[in-house]
Amino acid sequence: MPQKQTHEPETTRRADAIEDTLNRLTQLSEKLMQLARAEGAQLDASAPHYARAVLRLVVDDLPRADRTRIELNLPAAQMLCEIDPDAVTIVARNLIENALRHGSSAPISVMLSDDGWLHVENDCVAVSPQTLDTLQGRFIRGGDAGVGSGLGLAVVQKIAKRTSSTLKLISPLLGKHRGFRASIKLGRNA
């Protein structure tokens, strides 16, 4: 972390505001690049790959504080994926970041099922059906979403469409009055 060169409160406040703005712009440009890739790039893998390895790398790449909140459940059998590994990384990272950002402090469940579905689930106040229907749009965020660009689910939705997959959003979770689950089909049994 850089050392502060001034002790004047107003200058420090302005510098902090500039740093916050630059961080938000960096995050927004990353999401816009992901969206451009989802719209124009080749999303089919040149050769099938194992989705488990990609998901493990995504979770391992998270900051330590976030990583400790993740409950990663991967199937014993290898799961072949025909979606480009970079696109799988974008999907998984967006879904996990959304779950971390918009959920309570409870653990986040990241599960790859035996039939190839990736499920990312968090504890949160239930999302209304009206809001749930709009969350896949660009620059759309839930009612009290806080920070974020509103592009994460739009990127995942675009990748799902271009790879003949489906993005499913569910809230509240079955048998509960809370929670949110995002699911997308990634692969098939090896």
Higher-pLDDT residue of 7 and 73 is 73
Residues 41, 43: Cα–Cα separation, whole Å: 6
Task: Look at 63-67, 91-95, 115-119, 147-151 and tell me which has the smallest mean pLDDT.
Answer: 147-151
Mean pLDDT of the chain: 82
Decide if pLDDT at 88 tops 80: yes
Residues 91, 157: Cα–Cα separation, whole Å: 9
Report the predicted TM-score, pTM, of the whole model to 2 decimal places: 0.75
DSSP run (H or E) holding 179: strand 178-185
Task: Look at 9-23, 134-148, 169-183 and tell me which has the smallest mean pLDDT.
Answer: 134-148
Amino acid, res. 70: I
pLDDT tens-digit map of 155-184: 899 889 888 888 999 999 988 899 999 999
